[in-house]
């Protein structure tokens, strides 16, 4: 068995400690806002779902895009239920939970490659988005 010289171990350990400390310092100071979650995750994911709900995917790649978007939409709904993003403990949470549930229904439709189920799921997502926006979105 070969031994590593101590002269190499100490500098390597020092580099690891420095990298770990730097990574902690560079972490974002604040979590994403509601608008940040919407712009980066919810809207792009829902746009793909809405398009696919009106015209079902024709090939494997399009179904994968819907599946990926459904996963992203579910995660965005979960983020909307955490931290300072929560607007109130009742209706906001119910709508965010509905978004997650509908994203999961979209995921099941995509995995089954079921255009009818995808169309219904897309309609349900749209209705939840519109209802939430009517209540919470600044005009």
Cβ neighbours of 135 (radius 10 Å): 12
pLDDT at 138: 81
Is 93 inside a domain boundary?
Answer: yes
Is 131 inside a domain boundary?
Answer: yes
Residue 66 near residue 118 (C-beta atoms within 8 A): yes
pLDDT at 21: 53
Is 83 inside a domain boundary?
Answer: yes
Q: Which two tokens stand for residue 90?
A: 């009742």
pLDDT at 6: 53
Residue 109 near residue 125 (C-beta atoms within 8 A): no
Residue 125 near residue 72 (C-beta atoms within 8 A): no
Please write the tens of the pLDDT for every residue from 6-63. 554 445 444 444 445 544 555 455 568 999 999 999 999 999 999 999 999 999 999 9
Please write the tens of the pLDDT for every residue from 93-137. 999 999 999 999 999 999 999 999 999 999 999 999 999 999 999
- CATH number of the structural domain spanning residue 127: 1.20.120
Q: Helix count (H) and strand count (E) of the chain? A: 6, 0
pLDDT at 104: 98
pLDDT at 13: 46
Q: What is the pTM of this model?
A: 0.77
pLDDT at 92: 96
Kindly report the CA angle at 93 between 92 and 99, in degrees rounded to 5? 90
Dmax of the chain from CA atoms?
70
Domain span at 92: 34-136
Is 66 inside a domain boundary?
Answer: yes
What residue has token string 């549930």?
101
Is 27 inside a domain boundary?
Answer: no
């Amino acid at each position: 068995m070969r031994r590593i010289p101590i002269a190499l171990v100490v500098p390597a350990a020092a580099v690891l400690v420095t990298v770990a400390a730097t990574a902690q310092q560079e972490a974002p100071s604040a979590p994403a806002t509601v608008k940040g979650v919407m712009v980066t995750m919810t809207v792009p994911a829902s746009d793909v779902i809405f398009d696919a709900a009106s015209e079902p995917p024709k090939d494997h790649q399009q179904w994968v895009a819907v599946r990926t978007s459904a996963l992203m939409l579910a995660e965005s709904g979960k983020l909307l239920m955490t931290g300072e993003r929560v607007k109130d403990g009742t209706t906001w949470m119910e709508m965010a939970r509905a978004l997650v549930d509908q994203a999961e229904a979209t995921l099941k439709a995509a995995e089954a490659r079921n255009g009818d189920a995808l169309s219904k799921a897309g309609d349900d997502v749209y209705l939840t988005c519109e209802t939430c926006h009517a209540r919470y979105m600044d005009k």
